[in-house]
Amino acid sequence: MTTSPLTRRRLLTGSLAATAAAAVPAPAVAMLSGMVPRWPEAAPVIGTLGRYTARHEDTLLDVARRFGLGYTEMVAANRGVDPWLPGEGTELVLPTAHLLPDADREGLVLNLADQRVYRFRDGVAVASHPVGIGRQGWSTPTGRTEIVAKTKNPVWRPPESIREENPDLPKVVPAGDDNPLGHYKLDLGWPTYLFHGTNMPWGIGRRVSHGCVRLYPEDIARFFDQVAVGTPVQVVDQPAKLGWVGGTLLLEVHPNQEQASQLARTGSFDPAVVSDLPGRVVAHAQARDATIDWPTVDRVMHERRGIPEPVARPERRS
């Protein structure tokens, strides 16, 4: 069964006000667009920025899933666009370029702030998937663990804490299309925490789970085959990411977890600073004797569009 954009709006939020904002700055689009076919192997970035012209029937949910994106990152990159009725012919930014989190480049790295999991092989990022994470009161923990088990077509036994919240839940949910775990799950070394599929793909890129990590059905199927038991997992929470790419220092800032919840509910969020960001920018710039564009640093931090933008370049020597 298919549903119209307006029906999905009522199902998920009732209404969602879009907020007007400036378009994504041209330098970021030009630098990260498909004009750059391949990054150097050691570059701390995966993917390239894209654009898409909306069709009459599109919602941002549809476009996000089509291009391997989550809901919040799609809304953050396209502020001022109605997520439920963007309108035929509307030019959308696809935030499909991501700086890598500051973490060991091995196994899986989950960044709660950008709501993505990164998969590494031999020190190189080979894939990145959008995820749904724990909501307020059921936050996904940070730290180190590993994959300890894998199950295809899992049965779900809701914990008592979840059944207390929703007494109508059965004690056992059999495998199948109606199972909230989807068709695959991978257990973490932390008891009750999983990577799994979902029967509600509209929740990807949102804080909606009870702490587990959800992937789109098509993503979890590949993920299940490619991730082995024993794979190390790091979970971090890094709203601001920095990296030198092609002689330019890029900064990418996402809404923090509370802002992400606000953005999903209302289309806007309360401003917040990243307290350690100035020191980190200075440290990166000093390492290459670079000049910092502080107005851009400040703007990127406050807008939090999740798009890498140039903020420093080495000084030219005469």
Q: Is 56 a catalytic residue?
A: no
**Beta pairing, strands 91-94 & 50-53:** antiparallel
Question: Is the pTM value of this prediction over 0.75?
Answer: yes
Sequence-separated (6 or more) residues with CB below 8 Å from residue 62 = none
pLDDT at 191: 86
Catalytic option among 210, 212, 254, 284? 212
Superfamily of domain 5-99: LysM domain (3.10.350.10)
Kindly list the domain boundaries of the chain, sorted by start residue: 5-99, 108-236, 240-314
Instruction: Say which of 196, 210, 254, 284 is annotated catalytic.
Output: 196
Q: How many CA atoms lie within 13 A of 130 on its CB side?
A: 27
- Give 287-292's long-range contacts (Cβ < 8 A, gap of 24+): 288/244, 288/249, 288/314, 289/314, 289/315, 290/249, 290/314, 290/315, 291/315
Give catalytic status of residue 284 as yes or no.
Answer: no
Which residues fall within 8 angstroms of residue 306, CB to CB, at 6 or more apart? Answer: 73, 76, 77, 95, 114, 252, 253, 254, 255
CATH number of 108-236: 2.40.440.10
Q: Which pLDDT tens digits describe the chain residue by residue (318 residues)?
A: 334 443 344 333 332 222 222 333 443 443 443 333 356 667 899 999 999 999 999 999 999 999 999 999 999 999 999 999 999 999 999 999 999 999 999 999 999 999 999 999 999 999 999 999 875 545 788 999 999 999 999 987 766 666 666 667 667 778 888 888 899 999 999 988 899 999 888 889 887 756 679 999 999 999 999 999 999 999 999 999 999 998 899 999 999 988 988 888 888 899 999 999 999 999 999 999 999 999 999 999 999 999 999 999 998 765
Residues forming beta bridges with residue 205, ordered by sequence position:
none
Distance CA 137, CA 6 (A): 30
Bin 46: left if φ > 0, else alpha if -120 < ψ < 50, else beta: beta
Cα 213 from chain centre: 12
C-alpha 3/C-alpha 196 separation (Å) is: 25
Beta-sheet pairing, 143-152 with 232-236: antiparallel
